[in-house]
Chains A and B, each alone.
Chain A
Amino acid sequence: MLPSAPADDPAALPLEISGVAKRFGDLRALDGVSLRLAPGECLGLLGPNGAGKTTLLRAIAGRVQPDAGSITVLGAPAGSPAARLALGWIPQELALYPRLTCLENLEAFGRYFGLGGAALSTAVERCLRWAALADRADDAVQHLSGGMKRRLNMAAGLVHAPKVVLMDEPTVGVDPQSRNRMFEMIDALASEGTSIVYTTHQMAEAERLCDRIAVVDHGRVIAVGTRDELVRAAFGTRSEVVARFERMDESAAAWIRQRGGRFDGAAARFEVEQPTAMVALLEAAARAGHTLVDVSLRRPDLESVFLHLTGRELRE
């Protein structure tokens, strides 16, 4: 066990990750990750499946021992008792006891964090209200709907009122209505000053919830910043022309490359300094004998940023 430092150091950041690396056999799951989380901030980890997001969260929670680097939670080394108490972990899986009721689940996890008596009752009541499950408190988990289970899964990670919360794709498999309800829950949490790390491969979620976003791929953080910072860093003031070709063949692919564009498997993307450049692009295509369909001009988004940085789509 690593030596434990107090987790209530006012000068300490909620989370500080420095040069963390982890290998599983030949797989380099984390490759020198460094990140900082400011108090009250919601930091998104955006990346495709297998990028290393979950491994990073498990390392923060002390469940994965890094091969190199360090992680501190409010100044305490990850995995130390102080860090565990300061952290709330909401895993991707429904990590609940299916035969226990909502109330019993929350009580169990509260006790695992050392709560008891009136403090436990108050905490459980607060979590049930927060998750809008007060009227289902005595229902067994196995009888809840998918969305309710997800909400309880979140509540179980917060019963001990942690200062830093790790959320690992908490909305996976949830219908839009339940997802909105969960977003409201996260907003409420953030408004109380809780620092959050939120992993997702859903661009819209990251944009909706996160103050800053770290783009993760192949175990590395390849860019960090607000949405606008990321877009500006990747595209400057340029816009993006997205076009489909009527006939996509070798000649079309060569023409796209020649014009500095990229083909993502469905459409070609070109960066233009000014919207008027779109006209010139269409004329050039016509001159080269290519017919463009579904042509649109748009401001680049996070998906564009990810494609720009990694050369592949977020959902690959």
Chain B
Amino acid sequence: MILPVARTALTSLRRDRGALALTFILPVAFFTILAVIFGARRDPTPPVAVIVVDQDQSRASRALVEGLARESLDVRTRPAARHGVEQAEYTEDTAELAVRAGDAPLALVIPAGFAERALAGADAHADVKLVRDASDPVAAQIVEGLLQRIAMTSLPEVMAGRGVRLMDPFVGGFTAEQRRRVEEGLAALRDRPDPETAGPEGGMLIPVRVRDVVGPARNDSMISFYAAAIAVMFLLFTASAAAGSLLDESESGTLDRVLGSRVTMGALLGGKLLYCTALAFGQLVVMFVWAWLVFGVDLPGHLDGFAVMGLVTSFAVAAFGMLIASACRTRAQLAAVSMLLVLVMSAVGGSMFPRYLMPAAMRHAGLVTLNAWAIDGFTKVFWRDEPVWRLWPQVLVLGAAGAVLSALAWRLARRWERS
């Protein structure tokens, strides 16, 4: 009796394409996405973009910049050319603005007097400054670590000279002959052809002062990120499920009865879209109010940006839900398709892992998802404190996506209009 029961279950599964897709395609699709994101063999460390402003222009500062460029960093000294016109080099102010705008997660400023005073430990004001976007905690740590490594590989004579100067008082002062030999040795280190073979590894050799310009003095950046990221993913699920009422009504005959009244297909879809948008916005409000009350995310300080991003995101996800509900024939099909699409979109679009941790190709691929644009928008609001008008790219893309998806949904739903 066991085998017939198993056989019946297997036959049922074979007939249920949605369940088959969930069983076999979804895990493979997910595995593929994660393998691409974290595929260590091809691209182990995504290049961290760092803006460099060298105010010192000393041999040591130039060596430091060159050293950074040799590492797996995307070193930028000026903004990308616009319309073929090369832009002016970053200053400390424009570099900070660029970090605030999210062009790069951090900017490294080497102040004038760095080689003369900071390296000698004489003046902390000349320390290297790292202007950081706190939403990307990894980038700053990578650059800080690399700076110390470069100190040993690109500036061995500076490090050795520092050691000599520290030692000088303890040995009662070098003689003129000893001082001459030390200078010769440092010169030899300076002119050494291969800095990669340089000396011992050390700790914090280059003094660095880190300053957060995005989300300053807050440790809730990841909480803000996940509030937006998780909310968008669940919004997609909610919108798909809510839009599925179309299929319920079609199966029960209610849709026929409604369309037999004064309600047209346009009005019906408009009403459903309004409902799904309101539902999604309500879900976002609950999510962020909870994040504010429990985790201290600054919702009251960003109400305008939240309202704009919340409404446009809700509209786009509602339209997405309407489209897949219109495209599917049954509730079971809708459940399978929405699960597949939403999980894939969420993985690629950054709802599960921040996109800045992904390889460049995946980061760009993520831009085809609603998640990426919505999360980018909420990031601008809650981390970068950007004014509402700076949300225009996200508003434009999500608004246009919502309009296109709605139009496609209406096109597909016309099959219900008249047979």
A269 CA to B262 CA in the complex, in Å?
Answer: 51
Q: Does the CB pair B253–A65 fall under 8 Å?
A: no
Residues in chain B near residue A89, CB distance under 8 A: 256-257, 260
A114 contacts B262, C-beta separation under 8 Å: yes
Select B257's contact among A24, A79, A95, A114, beta carbons within 8 Å: A95
Interface size class of B (residues with CB under 8 A): 10 to 19
Whether a CB of chain B sits under 8 angstroms from the CB of A97 is yes
Interface centre among A89, A98, A112, A157 (most CB of B within 10 A): A112
Q: Which residues 235-274 of B have a CB within 8 angstroms of A?
A: 252-254, 256-263
Report A-chain residues with C-beta under 8 Å of the C-beta of B262: 81, 84-85, 112-114
Q: Is A62 an interface residue (CB 8 A)?
A: yes
Question: Which residues of A from 67 to 99 have beta carbons under 8 Å from B?
Answer: 79, 81, 84-85, 87, 89, 91-98
Q: Does A64 contact B (CB under 8 A)?
A: yes
When distances are taken between beta carbons in the complex, the residues of chain A under 8 Å from B257 are 89, 91, 95, 109, 156-157
Could you say which residues of chain B place their CB within 8 Å of the CB of A201? none
Residue of A nearest to B245 (CB): A97
Can you list 17 residue pairs at the A/B interface with Cβ under 8 Å? A58-B419, A62-B260, A63-B256, A63-B260, A64-B418, A65-B419, A84-B260, A89-B260, A91-B257, A93-B253, A95-B254, A95-B256, A109-B258, A112-B262, A113-B261, A113-B262, A157-B257
Chain A residues lying within 8 Å of B419, measured Cβ to Cβ, are 24, 58, 63-65
- Contact among B253, B263, B418 for A95, CB-based, below 8 A: B253
* Binary interface encoding of chain A residues 224-262 relative to chain B, with 1 for a CB under 8 A from any of its CBs, else 0: 000000000000000000000000000000000000000
Q: B257, B259, B260, B263 — which one has the most chain A CB atoms within 10 A of its CB?
A: B260
CB within 8 Å of B: which residues of A? 24, 58, 61-65, 79, 81, 84-85, 87, 89, 91-98, 109, 112-114, 156-157, 160
Which residues in A have their C-beta under 8 angstroms from that of B254? Answer: 95-97
State how many angstroms separate the Cβ of B136 from the closest Cβ of chain A: 46
Residues of A within 8 A of B258 (CB): 109, 112
Residues of the B chain whose Cβ atoms lie less than 8 Å from the Cβ of A63: 256, 259-260, 418-419
**Contact status A84-B418, CB under 8 Å:** no
User: A93 contacts B418, CB within 8 Å?
Assistant: no
Q: Roughly how many angstroms separate A91 CA and B263 CA in the complex, as a whole number? A: 17
| Interface residues of B, Cβ cutoff 8 Å to A | 252-254, 256-263, 418-419
Closest A residue to B258 by CB, please name it. A112
- In the complex, what distance in Å separates the CA atom of A239 from the CA atom of B84? 100
Q: Bound complex: CA of A94 vs CA of B418, how far in Å?
A: 20
Given contacts A62-B418, A65-B419, A112-B263, 10 further A-B contacts (CB under 8 A): A58-B256, A61-B256, A64-B419, A85-B262, A93-B252, A95-B253, A95-B257, A96-B252, A112-B261, A113-B261
In the complex, what residue of chain A is closest to B251 when comparing beta carbons?
A93
* A65 / chain B contacts, CB cutoff of 8 Å: 418-419
| Bound Cα distance A160, B261 (Å) | 10
In Å, the complex CA distance between A156 and B258 comes to: 11
Whole-angstrom CA separation of A91 from B253 in the bound complex: 7
Nearest CB on B from A59, distance (A): 10
Q: Which residues of A contact B261 (CB under 8 A)?
A: 84, 109, 112-113, 160
A92's nearest neighbour on chain B, judged by CB, is: B253
Tell me the bound Cα distance from A91 to B260 in angstroms: 11
Nearest Cβ on chain A to B152's Cβ, whole angstroms: 70
Please, how many angstroms separate the alpha-carbon atoms of A65 and B415 in the complex? 12
What is the CA–CA distance of A186 and B340 in the complex, to the nearest angstrom? 49
B279 to chain A, nearest CB (A): 15
Bound form: Cα–Cα A97–B260 in Å: 16
Alpha-carbon gap, A63 to B260, bound state (A): 7
CB-CB under 8 A from A62, the residues of chain B are 260, 418
CB-based nearest B residue for A55: B419
Contacts of A157 in B (CB 8 A): 257
- Minimum CB–CB distance for B236 against chain A, Å: 23
Please list the 6 inter-chain residue pairs (A to B) with the smallest Cβ-Cβ separation, ordered nearest first: A93-B253, A112-B261, A95-B253, A95-B257, A95-B254, A91-B253
A67 CB to nearest chain B CB (Å): 11
The answer to whether B253 and A79 touch across the interface, beta carbons within 8 angstroms, is no
A17 to chain B, nearest CB (A): 17
How far apart are the CA atoms of A248 and B170 in the complex, in Å? 128
Name the residue on B nearest A22 (C-beta): B419
B414 to chain A, nearest CB (A): 12
Measured CA separation A62–B252 after assembly (Å): 18
Q: Which of A64, A87, A89, A95 has the most CB of B within 10 A?
A: A95
* B252 and A95 contacting across the interface, CB-CB below 8 Å: yes
Expressed in whole angstroms, the Cα–Cα distance for A112 and B260 within the complex equals: 9
* A87/B260 in contact, CB under 8 A: yes
**A98 partner residues in chain B, CB cutoff 8 A:** 252
Q: For the complex, what is the distance from the CA of A94 to the CA of B257, rounded to whole Å?
A: 10
Q: Residues of B contacting A79 with CB < 8 Å? A: 418
The reply to whether B260 and A61 form a contact with Cβ atoms under 8 Å apart is: yes
Q: A81 vs B262: C-alpha distance in the bound complex, in angstroms?
A: 6
Question: Chain B's nearest CB lies how many Å from the CB of A111?
Answer: 9
Smallest beta-carbon distance A173→chain B, Å: 14
Residue of B nearest to A1 (CB): B264
Q: Does B256 contact A91, Cβ atoms closer than 8 Å?
A: yes
Smallest Cβ distance from A4 to chain B, in angstroms?
12
Complex alpha-carbon distance, A296 and B320, angstroms = 67
Closest to B416 in A: A63
Closest CB of chain B to A277's CB: distance in Å? 50
Q: Whole-angstrom distance from the CB of B251 to the nearest CB of chain A?
A: 9
A98 to B260, CA, bound (A): 19
Residue of B252, B256, B261 most packed against chain A (CB within 10 A): B261
Chain A residues within an 8 Å CB radius of B256: 58, 61, 63, 89, 91, 95
Cα A97 to Cα B258 in complex, Å, equals: 11
Cα distance A96–B252 in the bound complex, in angstroms:
8
In the complex, chain A residues whose CB is within 8 Å of the CB of B260: 61-63, 84, 87, 89
Query: Whole-angstrom distance between the alpha carbons of A152 and B264 in the complex?
Result: 23
| Shortest Cβ distance from residue B145 to the other chain A in the assembled complex, whole angstroms | 58
For the complex formed, measure the closest distance between the CB of B77 and the CB atoms of chain A, giving whole angstroms.
63
Please measure, in the bound complex, the distance between the C-alpha atom of A93 and the C-alpha atom of B251, giving whole angstroms.
9
Alpha-carbon distance between A112 and B263 when the two chains are bound, in angstroms: 6
Give the CA-CA distance A61 to B255 in the complex, in Å: 13
